[in-house]
Structure formats: C-alpha cells, structure tokens
Amino acid sequence: MTSGGIDRDGLCDECLELDLEQSFANAFALYEGARRGRNTRKLEVYRSEHGPPYLGHFHFVTSLGSRLANPSLCRLCHFLKQTCPESGNAIRPYETYKLLAICSSESYLFEVPKKANRKRPEMRPWGSVDHNIFMAVVPEIPMIPKTGVPLRWFESDLPKIGSIYRLTEEQIWDFQKCGSQAHKFCAPKKPAGASLPGFRATNCLKRPPVVEDRPWSVKYVALSYVWGPPSGDWPKTILDAVEVTKQLGEKYLWVDRLCINQSNLQEKQFLISKMDAIYEGAEFTIVAAAGDARTGLTGVSTVTRKLQPLVDLKLRIRTAPPNPDPSIKLLGITTTEHNEISQDGEYLDLHRFGFRATHQLDHEDIAEFKKEKEIMEIFGISREHLTVFQDMADDAGVSIEEWMPNMMDMSEKEGIPIQKLAPHILREIATAMVMPEDMIRNLKRPAPPITPSSKVGKPLPPGQERGTTILVSTLEDPRVTIRNSEWAKRGWTYQEGVLSNRRLVFTEQQMYWECNGMAAQESLDIIDLYDPTKTRFADYMLSGIFDGDIHRVPELQYGFKSSDIDGEVPEQVLRLDSHIRTFTSRNLSYDGDSLNAFLGVAARYSTDSGLSLLLGMPVWAGQFATGKPGLQNTFALSVSSWTHTAPPVDKDAEMYVMKCPRRPQFPSWTWVGWKGRANFSANPPAREDGDKPPGWEDNVHVEFFRAMTSKDWARGISGRLWSAEMMLHAEDGSEGTLLVGHAPVKNTAADQSKTWLLTIREPLVLKHMVLMHSVIQGEWRRLMGKRVQIHLSVPMTEVELTAGHKTGQLVTVLVFASRVPFIFNGTARYLILRRADDVGNRWERIGRLAMTIEEWELEEYKSTAGMIAAMPVVKFGRDLVLV
C-alpha cells in the first residue's frame, strides 16, 4: 500500500476489498434464478410503515457512504463519482450513496398488462430475450433498504447519470441494422413518379461541395440544426455534415439555407410547404443537437466530445469464507436484513414505473367505455380510481355496477368521500392493516412470467480481457441530452425531427440513432434487443423521443411506439393535437414563422375529403358517417376547444389564466396567432398529492371526431348538434369561404400575405357573465345554473371578466353545442371576445368558455332547436367580425 491509502493499482482500501466480478456473477445468478423460478425474488413496489415507496429487490454490492463527495486519488472512486449526481447537476444531490447490480431486461417491469374480456391482466412471457447486468450508483435514503431504489428513479434519475456496464466483447455500433430490415416504418417515403419542383441537393463528393439541381427521386441525406447568428453559407456544422454524408456512403445532402433559394419568395414558400416530403424522403436526417451552425458536429472534425468514463481493474484471487447463508450471495445482504425488509408492505402505485398508458379504443370497446364514463359521472371518480374498483369487482366475481353500491356503503361507514375511497384503500393495503387477502389478491400486479427451467441457461459472459474487469459508463442518456439542447427548444427543428423516418443525432457526448422501429446510443450496445420479426424495439426499452415525447413529461418513457399515421381517425386527431401542443411549447425567432414552421406536419395530416387543417385548426373536410358534411361542426369545435396551458386562478377554481403575447399578423381565433403552449384537450394539472382538481377532463375534441366518423355513433350525436355559421374571408375582399357544406379547405387562407377575418353570422351571446357560487360540494362556480370552465389567454380577474361584459368591452359568443360522445351529458362551447376597435366592429378572441349541459336537461330537449332555445343566450343583433 502506498501513502494516502492508495495501493500500486490506484485503489483505496474500501475499493480494494470489492470483488466486482463476483458481484456481477451473483447478480446474474439472482435474476436468472428468479426468471426460472429457482428463487422467490420478485420485483415489486414496497413501503415500510412510515417510509417512502421503493422498488426492490436488487443485488447490493456495497455502501459508498459519503466518500464520493470528497476528493480522492482512487481510480474506482473517481470513476464512480462521474456516475452520481453532484451539486451543480439538475438532479438533487444526496449525502450518501450505494452501489447496486441490476438486471437489464426485466420486461414485465415496464410492460402494460393486457386485458381480454375484462379478465385479469396477462403478461407475455419473457421468451428468449437475453439479459445482462449493469451497476448504478444509487442514493441512500432513510427507510429504503440496501436492496431498494427510490420509486421512479429508473425513469427520472438514472438516465441523467448513466449506467455502469462491464465490457464483455468488442462493441460494434451498427445503425445500418435498421436499413437492412427494409421495413415499412423507416423506408424513405417517395411515391413512384412523384416530383418536387425546385429541389436541390449538395453534392458532397465535389471539392468544394456544390449545390445542384437534382430530381427528388435521387437518394439524399437531410440536415437539421439551429441556424444561430449569421455565419456564412458554409458554417462548420454544414461542412461536418458533408463529411458525415460521405463517410456513410451517401452523395447528396439537403440543407435548407443552401438548397432553398432564399431570394425567390414564391419558390421558398412552396418548398417550406413541402417539408413533409423533403424530410420523409431522406435516407436519414443528421441532427446537430449541440450548439448551432457555427459549432460543428462533435467528434467529426475538430470538435471534441466528452470522454466516456472507463476504469480497468485487475482481477484478484480471493477465497471467500464458507457461508451457509444464500442471501449474502444472491442479494448481497444477510438473511436477518432480508427478513426485516420482507415485512414491508407491497405498495400499489397508480402511476407505476412511468409507463405511458395511452389506451386507444377499438370499435368493440366503445360500449364498455360508455359504461365506464357513466359510472365515473355518477360517482364523481377518476378513471384511475374506477380501475381500482373494477379490479375489486373482478375479484369478487360481480359486475362493476353491482360492486359500486358496496363501495358507497364503505364510504359512508368510514366517513370518507367516495372520490377519496380508492386512495384510502390503497394506503391500507400498502401498510397491510385491514384489507383481507381474498379482497386484495387481484389488486396486486401480475406475477412475473417464468422462463421454463428446462430451457438452457446462459452464464455471465466472460470479460473482454482475461484477468481484467473493464467498467464503462453509458454517460447521460442521449434522450435527456437532446431534450435539454437548444435544438429541442426551437420551433423550426420540431417538424424536422418528427417528419424524418431515421435520425442520426450528434450530442455533446455521443451519437444517437432513432428510427420508427428502434433506438440505439453509441455508448451502449443494445442492438440485439431489436426484434426484426416485429420491426420494433423491445417493449421494455426506453422509447424514442421524436414522436411528440420530448415535451410530454420530465421523465423518460418505456415501450417503443410507431410514428406511423396510418391509423383510425381519432388516433390521427389525438396525434395531431399532440404535435400542436409540443410545437407551441418551442421558441421562434420570428413570429411570422408561427405557421410556416408547422406546415410540414400540417401537410402530413391534410387530405381533400377527410382530416385537414385550416390555419392550424383541425377540421373534417369530407362528410360524416351520417352523410352530412363535417366542416362547419368540426371548425366550430376546434376553434372553441383549444386553450393555452394555464394554472387556475385559485385552488379548485375552474378559471385558468395565462399571459400570452399576440402575433398580430395571424388571426386571434387560431393558436397560430399567439405565443404559448396550446392544448385541444383541456385537462386540469394534477395537484402535489396526485389527485386531479375537481375540473372535468375535456376530451371532446378527439371523441367528437371518433363518434362522427363511426356509423354506430354518429346518428346519436347528430340528434343534438349545433354550430354557428361562420365565414372566412380576406380583409381586402379578394377571397372568402362560407364554412358550411363541402367548401374547399386545403388551399383556403393559404396566402399568408393577406389578413384573414372570421365572421360569425347572426351570433348568439351570453346574457351576462355573473358567476355564482355553487351549492354542490367540490364545485367552483355556476353560470346561470350551469357548470362552466373558463380559459383566458390574457391576464384578467373574475371581477374584470364580469365588468367587461357589463360595459360591452367583452362578449361571449356561442359557437358549438352537442351531446358529448360516449357519455350522457352535453357541452356548449363559447368564445370570449374583446373589442379590437373603439366601436365594436372588430373583435379579438381572448379565451373560451365550456358549459356543461347535464343529462336531465338533454332529455327535456326534443330537438337541436330546443337545446339551443334553452341556452342562456340572446341575439347580438349584428355579425361579429374576429381579427
């Protein structure tokens, strides 16, 4: 041992005692044994009586204490320090840490259980999926045992610091596996014989490179990057992209600033509108996610990258003393410690593991969905709470309708509102206090699938170098790096990432590949987890982020999804809404690009006789399943559905206010005319305790498209359906379209040089805006006896809202009313308008009001006319013109 407690191999006393090779082997045996039913280890969410929830049980290697916080000459300590959070990081720092060994392929951890005919969830078997072991530095938190990790740590913290892998063989990173499969999800989309006038590409084989006129059918690579300040025609990022294109065997590179004639405005506008074709038609897109045009691509020429942390350790022959305690070997802890933590109760987490559970209804599910919606309305419970009660009903062998009266009885006896009963039951289960086993048995997560013991097991792969353990860090997950980059904050780059079928991303640390079927990062060889028979990445791997997920949540998601849009109409509307929400959360240097930077995505969803966009508003350009045209109704619905993401003005309030700057070159009635994140499904944000505010989930926008394009449901909705008659016209009088019947949509209002006005003909407006306190517990206000929800894009108090209507500076106009699809209530949608001139000839949309028409009211209306006659509205007396 040398001075300072460091031996000749550069290790401190504590690290010298570690046998990491044996820890890898023991952990591998633990997971392999659990997978084949040889031991009882299972992965669940647990909680002690007073502690936080945690995931367990993993292989405990050692406690690192606080030594990573102190300077050290130890090579292993220095390596481990690079894989734990520090004070300057976005992750919260902890005082002490431990080292755990974790299995990389516990697929049931992240897979969504599938239900068939309301039976218990079933998990698919592990099959022949290989697994490996990685290590990670995990914070030590009081009341979480040595073998546990904090709940949601895998999704939130681990990607930010990276995992520790043991090199087993030469790592070959080959994204061309994607191309070799030639599957439909990733192939460039170029219809046979299609052309693109004005298309040019950079010939990368010429020195210097030259921009040439080429047919669109030629193979080419595209580039996506942040322009930044002026830097000439050939900044470093473009020159590096030329080199990458050549090195990957391609000849042509498409770059917007070079291949679009910036001085020919007509040609420029045409090519901007064809961004979907340009990026979908590329072999792949090079994404520069580090810096701007001046920066260059890291690792290509002179731009260096952060080194991948690595440490090599010589194997030492150790003779472990005999120990009859198997727990020490498999879990790294003693039997006594294991028995202590085995007393912790299983904790049912409603948001388990962060997996995105976006359930899409098939046609056969609609009746079940309707029944569930009805129960949720009757009892005032959320879908998550309904799932808990449904599980209990399944266990008891009765229907949910028969079970809910039992829950009401329990609610009254316990003195707990029915809306709070499900969380109460889950807490009781978690602490194992009152619920009998026969009641909670089926509330537990399904047992992990077991690989048949007869299947030959695979041993831990040998290390890359005999006699040496080489550890490498996977670095920060590139998905996290990309999310935090300037590239991911810019509006123009959004459609470039979304529209591309394959992306090769250069971050500050490494390269990242994502197509529509797989994802891979340079620092980790996981190509074997790609299933060419399904043309999809393994379900339990982290999902891609270019399908609208970059801005979904602050954590990563699991389960690889397709970005293909060839689905049912409601799924397309839902995806389009998501694109608008994500795009509007990004920044634009010029307000005039608000529409141009989205035209590529818009073109992807625009058809002549179906779903289309009209100045950003999703509409149905064809006819409904009833045979009636859908333009008038869907335009009225869309223009009155979108809101800006905003906080409530007070706790439990149904009034949401945000200060959003206007873009006056675009109309106020479309999200294009405003800065700020726009939503078409107005869902109130969750509180800190996880429960949602009393506001309802407004998913009418998607569900209306679903119902009106279904023969089974369209007639039922159309019996209570009304929308205002509106006309879109240019201010100079040169063009105009009455938005009724089968009016043309695709090229309407395409000329951005014109000012477009929207006229509401013979409008019906609210009689007054006096909000009254509700006598119903949990409700905020009622307007003329009806429940309402208000969203405003400009700062305004409730008092100012009321006063503005009294003085005539504000008016709220009815534009849409309908039975809500799949539930018995109805909705009326209003636009809140503010005077845009002194005399009231021009008005500006500043918000919307949604009003619930309750079921008992709908039953009293004999027709659509009767429904409108019962609305608290009066005739305004003249047309309303919206700027």
pLDDT in tens, 301-324: 888 888 899 999 998 766 666 665
- Mean pLDDT on 773-798: 92
Q: At residue 117, does pLDDT exceed 70? A: no
Find, among 688, 356, 395, the residue nearest to 549 by Cα.
356
Which H or E run includes 277? helix 275-280
pLDDT given at position 152: 79
- In terms of phi and psi (left: phi > 0; alpha: psi -120 to 50; beta: otherwise), the region of 159 is alpha
Higher model confidence: residue 494 or residue 52? Answer: 494
- Identify the weakest region by mean pLDDT among 117-131, 469-483, 732-746, 859-873: 117-131
- Residue indicated by tokens 């690889």: 560
Percentage of the chain exceeding pLDDT 70 = 80
pLDDT given at position 302: 83
Q: At residue 690, does pLDDT exceed 50? A: no
pLDDT given at position 717: 84
H helices within 529-650, ranges in order?
569-583, 599-604, 631-639
Q: At residue 600, does pLDDT exceed 50? A: yes
- Mean pLDDT on 434-442: 40
pLDDT given at position 669: 98
- The Cα–Cα gap between 714 and 818 comes to 12
pLDDT in tens, 163-185: 999 988 654 445 555 655 445 66
What are the extents of the domains in the chain?
176-304+478-537, 352-443, 569-882
Higher model confidence: residue 530 or residue 436? Answer: 530
Higher model confidence: residue 762 or residue 120? Answer: 762
Written as six digits, the tokens of 119 are 């039976």
Question: Quick check: 239 and 223 in contact, CB under 8 A?
Answer: no
Which H or E run includes 120? none
- The Cα–Cα gap between 73 and 90 comes to 26
- Mean pLDDT on 443-468: 66
- The Cα–Cα gap between 147 and 327 comes to 11
pLDDT given at position 175: 52
- Identify the weakest region by mean pLDDT among 345-359, 415-429, 632-646, 865-879: 345-359
pLDDT given at position 553: 56
pLDDT given at position 474: 92
Q: At residue 880, does pLDDT exceed 70? A: yes
pLDDT in tens, 502-515: 999 999 999 999 98
Higher model confidence: residue 29 or residue 557? Answer: 29
- Mean pLDDT on 412-432: 74
Question: Sign of dihedral through CA atoms 583, 586, 592, 596?
Answer: negative
- Identify the weakest region by mean pLDDT among 358-372, 577-591, 660-674: 358-372
Percentage of the chain exceeding pLDDT 90 = 48
pLDDT given at position 692: 40
Higher model confidence: residue 47 or residue 849? Answer: 849
Question: Quick check: 282 and 188 in contact, CB under 8 A?
Answer: yes
- Identify the weakest region by mean pLDDT among 15-24, 263-272, 853-862: 853-862
pLDDT in tens, 371-382: 787 888 888 887
